[in-house]
């Protein structure tokens, strides 16, 4: 099953040096989940060859403009391009008011329904599940309420050892029960133990998205053991004071988070416009956590 994320924007605050405000596209089994939507996200989707029409789920972490100013344009374009299938939107409660006001004054009656789920920002919760993935919020610590998102693959059914099943002439109609970890009693009296005829499916992977936040151990338990942890790293550690003041994280701190929660890989992003190049940020994070990569525009990471 495909489980990968493509970075559409890596800038914080304002676009600069060809870096766009934050947005990421998660492909989970060919369903598409957009995470945040800074200005120009629809242009970035086109640039990197994605069809916006394929996105069915959008998650907005918080109401700073660099994370949602592109949303109204994207939703309008979907409408103008003829979308009729529903879209599922998750974000701060006030987001709906902002969108509705603009739909009203632009005289837009959407052809497709938006199912909006307002997010609570005090306690983490499961906000979505389907056959592929479970999505939980992560309670971050920013200047305004902000939630990260944890995407965990659904545990797949056990895999059949078909050769053995056929050799022992286990009737095919019992296969679904075995895949679901059930032992079966055959009419001929034989007891079939699922453990003998199936193997475990792959361990579900988890992608954790943390933006924007200051370093705060209270959310660590929610991102424990992430296979891929995206964590903002707005500043170098020499700017720690500014990071604390603006409720952001330094590259060194992002590495520390990855270490403490036992992440397997760290992606850093949300870079301050003060950095023309990003080498120093990567270097600083790698010092603390070697398996770090820059989450920059157009890169795709398998989770």
> What CA–CA distance (Å, rounded) separates 148 from 131?
21
Q: Which two tokens stand for residue 96?
A: 């709906």
Strands, sheet with 114-118, edge to edge from the N-terminal-most edge strand:
114-118, 87-91, 55-59, 31-37, 23-28, 3-9, 300-302
Q: How far apart are CA 57 and CA 51, in angstroms?
A: 13
Residue 241 near a copy of itself by CB under 8 A = no
CA–CA dist 107, 185 (Å, integer): 64
Distance separating alpha carbons of residues 142 and 149, to the nearest angstrom: 15
The pair of three-digit structure tokens given for residue 173, joined into one six-digit string: 């109609």
Q: Does the protein bind a copy of itself through residue 91 (CB under 8 A)? A: no
Site string for a copy of itself, 124-143 (x = CB under 8 A): -------------------x
Asked if residue 274 binds a copy of itself (CB under 8 A), the reply is no
Please name every residue paired with 206 in a beta bridge, in sequence order, or none if there are none. Answer: 152
> Nearest-5° angle of CA 50, CA 90, CA 210?
80
Q: In the range 30-89, which residues lie near a copy of itself by CB under 8 A?
A: 39-40, 42-43, 46, 63-65, 69-70, 72-73, 76-77, 80-81
Contact between 234 and 268 (Cβ < 8 Å) = no
Interacting residue with a copy of itself among 54, 84, 85, 97 (CB under 8 A): 97
Which residues, other chains included, contact 151 with Cβ-Cβ below 8 Å and sequence gap of 6+? Answer: 26, 28, 33, 133, 134, 135, 206, 207, 208, 209
Q: How many residues bind a copy of itself (CB under 8 A)?
A: 34
Residue number with CB closer to a copy of itself (102 or 121): 102
> At its nearest, how many Å lie between a copy of itself and the CB of residue 282?
24
Minimum distance from residue 215 beta carbon to a copy of itself (Å): 21
Rule CB under 8 A: say whether 199 interacts with a copy of itself.
no
Nearest CB to a copy of itself, comparing residues 273 and 291: 273
Find the part of the chain contacting a copy of itself (CB under 8 A) among 16-24, 131-139, 159-167, 208-216.
Answer: 16-24
Q: Among this protein's residues, is 132 annotated catalytic?
A: no
Which of 36, 66, 212, 227 does the annotation list as catalytic? 66
Residue 200 near residue 178, CB atoms below 8 Å: no
Residues involved in catalysis: 66
Contacting residues toward a copy of itself, per CB under 8 A: 13-16, 20-21, 39-40, 42-43, 46, 63-65, 69-70, 72-73, 76-77, 80-81, 92, 94, 97-98, 101-102, 105-108, 143-144
């Amino acid at each position: 099953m495909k489980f990968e994320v493509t970075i559409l924007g890596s800038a914080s605050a304002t676009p600069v040096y060809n870096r766009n405000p934050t947005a990421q596209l998660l492909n989970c089994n060919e369903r598409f989940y957009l995470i945040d939507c800074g200005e120009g996200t629809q242009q970035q989707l086109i640039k990197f060859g994605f069809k916006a029409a394929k996105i069915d789920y959008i998650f907005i972490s918080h109401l700073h403009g660099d994370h949602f100013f592109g949303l109204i344009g994207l939703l309008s374009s979907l409408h103008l391009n003829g979308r009729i299938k529903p879209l599922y939107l998750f974000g701060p409660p006030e987001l709906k008011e902002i969108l509705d006001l603009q739909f009203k004054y632009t005289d837009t009656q959407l052809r497709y329904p938006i199912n909006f789920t307002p997010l609570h920002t005090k306690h983490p919760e499961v906000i979505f599940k389907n056959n592929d993935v479970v999505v939980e919020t992560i309670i971050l610590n920013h200047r305004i309420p902000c939630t990260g998102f944890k995407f965990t693959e659904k545990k797949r059914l056990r895999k059949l050892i078909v050769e053995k099943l056929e050799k022992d002439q286990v009737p095919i109609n019992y296969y679904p029960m075995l895949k679901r970890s059930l032992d079966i009693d055959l009419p001929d009296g034989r007891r079939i133990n699922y453990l003998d005829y199936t193997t475990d499916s792959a361990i579900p992977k988890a992608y954790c998205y943390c933006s924007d936040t200051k370093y705060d151990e209270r959310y660590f338990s929610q991102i424990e053991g992430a296979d891929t942890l995206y964590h903002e790293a707005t500043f170098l550690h020499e700017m720690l004071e500014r990071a604390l003041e603006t409720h952001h994280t330094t590259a060194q701190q992002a590495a520390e988070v990855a270490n403490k929660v036992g992440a397997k890989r760290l992606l850093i992003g949300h870079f301050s416009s003060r950095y023309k190049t990003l080498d120093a940020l990567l270097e600083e994070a790698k010092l603390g956590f070697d398996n770090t990569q820059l989450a920059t525009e157009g890169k795709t990471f398998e989770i």
